[in-house]
Amino acid sequence: MRPMTKKNKIAAVAASAALVAVGGGTAYAYWSTTGSGNGGAAAASGTQPVSISVTVAPGVAPGTPKNINYTATNPNTSSTSVTLVNPQVSTSDAKCLPGWFSATVPAGPTTVLAGATTDLGNGTLTLNDDPATNQDACKGALITVTVGSN
């Protein structure tokens, strides 16, 4: 066997590197693949409604806005976002007309934490003063504000 020259050693190393590269390419092609699959998870079994409480400052009188405080109680195990909408006024006296009143709600949304009662903010209730109409029927009437939420 004849001795290896420097030129032959460089050629041998280059050939070995080329074989490793080709072998590596083959291994990559061998392990490349495609596939498909599916999975699933159980959804929560449902939630209980969040209850909204409305507290109106006493002393409703024509032309005098009264503070309304809104709170929400969330009995569920996850937090939820509440935005109050569409306040409706009703009264205990049929002669005290709901149309005489206006009610507002705070801007939302507000996050109500799981298992907590959260202050949603304030609005107003106003018995709109109408000098042409006797509004005495509202004296002593129970005034209820009902709101919806998104």
What per-residue confidence (pLDDT) applies to 33?
53
Summarize pLDDT for 44-74 with one digit per residue, the tens: 556 899 999 999 999 999 999 999 999 999 9
- Give Cβ neighbours of residue 97 (< 8 Å, ≥ 6 apart): 91
pTM score, whole prediction: 0.67
Give me the pLDDT at residue 76, please. 93
Asked if the bond preceding 109 is cis, omega within 30° of 0, the reply is: yes
pLDDT for 108-149, tens place per residue?
899 999 999 999 999 999 999 999 999 999 999 999 999 998
- Identify the pLDDT of residue 150: 83
What is the DSSP secondary-structure string of 91-134? ESSTTS-GGGEEE------EEE-TT-EEEEEEEEEEE---TTS-
Q: Class for domain 51-149, per CATH?
A: mainly beta
Rounded mean pLDDT of the chain? 82
Contacts 24+ apart (CB under 8 A), 44-53: 44/78, 47/76, 47/78, 47/80, 48/75, 48/76, 50/74, 50/75, 50/76, 50/80, 50/82, 50/112, 50/149, 51/75, 52/82, 52/84, 52/120, 52/147, 52/149
CA distance 44 to 57: 39
**pLDDT per residue as tens digits for the range 20-31:** 444 554 444 455
